[in-house]
Amino acid sequence: MTSPAADAPPSGPPVIRDSLQGKYAGFASRFTAFAVDIGVSLGVFMLALGAISFAATVLTGTDIAWHKGDTWVIIAYAVWAFIYFARSWGASGRTAGMALFGVRVVRDDGTDVSERRAALRTLALPLSFLLLGLGFVGILLGDHRRALHDVIAGTVVIYSWDARAARLRFLSRS
Amino acid sequence: MEGRLVPRSEAWAQAVAERAVELVVSALDVNALLDGVDLNAVLDQVDIERVLDRIDLNRLLSQVDLNTIVERIDVDALVEQTDLSAVIASASGGVASDALDVVRSQTVGLDEFIARWIGRLRRRPYTGPPGPPDGLRAKAGS
């Protein structure tokens, strides 16, 4: 039996006494980081399309209209998303969204993710969606909080920020 | 005759005394002696405040040449060892890092909330975020 306070959704900054660094990241952190990444990658992609349209108009005088249903647009976005995720994970273990929410991808033994493994994880990511989202159940139920693409690529997602230090910083300023 | 005998007997007596002291000292077990001393009891009897009262700090400091001490400090080495970028970053990024900490804390709170409910549904008490071995933690950069 947990206390009512424990059942209530968090309304203020929770009191985190542990560092959390190196612990397996939870569903909310991972999902929000992923949502931010989709937003960032889509935003950059649309900016690029706009820039191309503008350049084409200036240089050739013809307007290029992009439609989200165009096959080439979908393929271009898929390629861009692959580059975005694979390069980010391979270079630093985290994307922009993951950096924002203080999580990162590492190999299941704690070492950095190689470019190859990052590419494999990126390719396996759609599988977790294609199985009606069942690929993500492992994050909720698994002891290591791994999604299907984590299992395939041999990776885990961990908290990389020091919650205890953050709390001390907050207390020192208040 | 008597004048020559007296110094000789004194020298003998001194040699005998030195030898006797040597024998006594070598026979003493200093460690056993120290073990028997109750230092706490000795310190209890020392009136520290009275000792401090008798110390003339001004006189002591007047004999210290601060300029010489400062000259001996290698300021360049000191600056080199200080992570100035970290100091500047922590001082200037206050508002931004605070906001980031709050956002992360909220999300972690949500993680915990979800995990507690999952634990309840599975009838497995939730004891906090699962942690890998320390090795994984040590390799995780911030």
For residue A2, tell me if it sits in a domain: no
Which residue among A6, A22, A101 sits closest to B131, beta carbon to beta carbon?
A: A22
pLDDT band for position B3 (cuts 50, 70, 90): low
Position B128 confidence tier, pLDDT thresholds 50, 70, 90: confident
d(CA A19, CA A35): 25
- Is residue B109 assigned to a domain? no
Residue B44 falls inside a structural domain: yes
Residue A70 included in any domain: yes
Total number of domains constituting chain A:
1
Q: Count of domains in chain B?
A: 1
DSSP per-residue codes, B80-139: HHS-HHHHHHHHHTHHHHHHHHHHHHHHHHHHHHHHHHHHHHTT----SS----HHHHHH
Cβ–Cβ contact B139 with A under 8 A: yes
For B57-72, the three-class secondary structure string (H helix, E strand, C coil) is HHHHHHCCCHHHHHHH
Query: Which domain range does residue B14 map to?
Result: 1-56
Task: Give how far Cα A136 sits from Cα of A36, A42, A151, B52, B142, Å.
Answer: 17, 22, 11, 69, 25
- Quote the strand ranges of A108-171, DSSP E: 155-159
Q: A28, B111: Cβ pair inside 8 Å?
A: yes
Determine, yes or no, domain membership for B3. yes
Answer yes or no: are the C-beta atoms of A82 and A122 closer than 8 Å.
yes
Kindly report, residue by residue over A100-147, the tens digit of the pLDDT.
999 999 998 888 999 999 999 999 999 998 888 899 999 999 889 999
User: Residue A110: which residues within 8 A CB-CB, separation 6 or more?
Assistant: A22, B132, B135, B136, B137, B138, B139, B140
Residue A100 within a domain: yes
User: B94 in a domain, yes or no?
Assistant: no
Choose, out of B87, B97, B100, B105, the residue to mutate when testing the contact with A (most A CBs < 10 Å).
B105
Give domain status of residue B14, yes or no: yes
Amino acid type, A29: S
Q: What is the pLDDT of residues B115-125, one digit of tens each?
A: 999 999 988 88
pLDDT at A60: 84
B17 assigned to some structural domain? yes
Average pLDDT of the segment spanning A36-50: 94
Position B52 in a domain: yes
pLDDT band at A56 (very low <50, low <70, confident <90, very high): confident
The per-residue pLDDT for B133 is 56
List residues bridging with A157 in a β-sheet: A105
Whether the model pTM is above 0.90: no
Q: Look at residue B45 and tell me if it is in a domain.
A: yes
Q: What pLDDT is attached to residue B134? A: 61
Question: Between chains, do A158 and B132 touch, taking CB under 8 Å as contact?
Answer: yes
Whether the pLDDT of residue A13 is over 60: the answer is no
What 3-state DSSP class applies to A132?
Answer: coil
Q: What domain range is A108 assigned to?
A: 24-173
Give Cβ neighbours of residue B110 (< 8 Å, ≥ 6 apart). Answer: A9, A10, A26, A28, A29
Say if the Cβ atoms of B114 and A140 lie within 8 Å.
Answer: yes
CA distance B80 to chain A (A): 25
| Mutant choice from B87, B101, B102, B121 vs A, greatest count of A C-beta within 10 A | B101
